[in-house]
Amino acid sequence: MRRLKRIAVYCGSASPRDPVYLATARAVGTQLAQRGIGIVYGGGRVGLMGALADAALAAGGEVIGVIPEALVGAELAHRGLTDLHVVPDMHARKALFTTLADGFIALPGGVGTMDELWEAISWAQLGYHDKPVGLLNAAGFFDQLLAFNAHMIETGFIRPAHARILLARDTLADLLDAMAAYISHEAIFAMPIDRL
């Protein structure tokens, strides 16, 4: 079983009308802190990001923010975190997420969240990391994305060796169990030519 000391949590900076999404972010922040799992996230103080961080901090958890310089200038940085890393750009942000975290969880979000999720999966396929990539399907938010992921597997665009990289569950407890039990897959860099 893997020990998950810190998890990078990808989530939106928006506050959707449906309160279930902010409630989910708060619950995840609280539960991770109660389990002694630190959070690495985008460093923002608004939307789901802010709700996640505030809940984890209120529960005594470690919260590390990683924010690009441009967003600090827009006054979106959360100033009450355990630690805040200011990086030059989004590429540096995602690289530091990967360095600091033992795994990744995507909560509901928009384009930025999807970018972070798919890059974590892509890097896992290639072999840049062997960490579990989780998706919390709160209120069925990711149903269509999961159907499309299944379609990519069925059509052969995702290799059989990589079909189980994305771990999707409906509850955080189930997702953390799946991430702790995750067995590393065969990376593309390690595959013989005839299997690519």
CATH code of the domain containing 175: 3.40.50.450
Single out the residue of 2, 64, 57 nearest to residue 34, CA to CA.
57
Q: Which residue range forms the structural domain that includes residue 26? A: 6-180
Asked if 85 and 43 count as a contact pair (C-beta separation under 8 A), the reply is yes
Structural domains counted in the chain: 1
CA distance 77 to 70: 10
- For the record, the structure tokens of 170 come out as 């409906």
CA distance 17 to 34: 28
Residue 196: the pLDDT is 47
Euclidean distance between the first and the last CA atom of the chain, given in angstroms as a whole number: 29
CA distance 43 to 80: 10
10-residue mean pLDDT series, the chain (196 residues): 96 95 98 98 96 98 96 85 96 95 98 96 93 97 98 95 95 98 84 51
Position 67 in a domain: yes
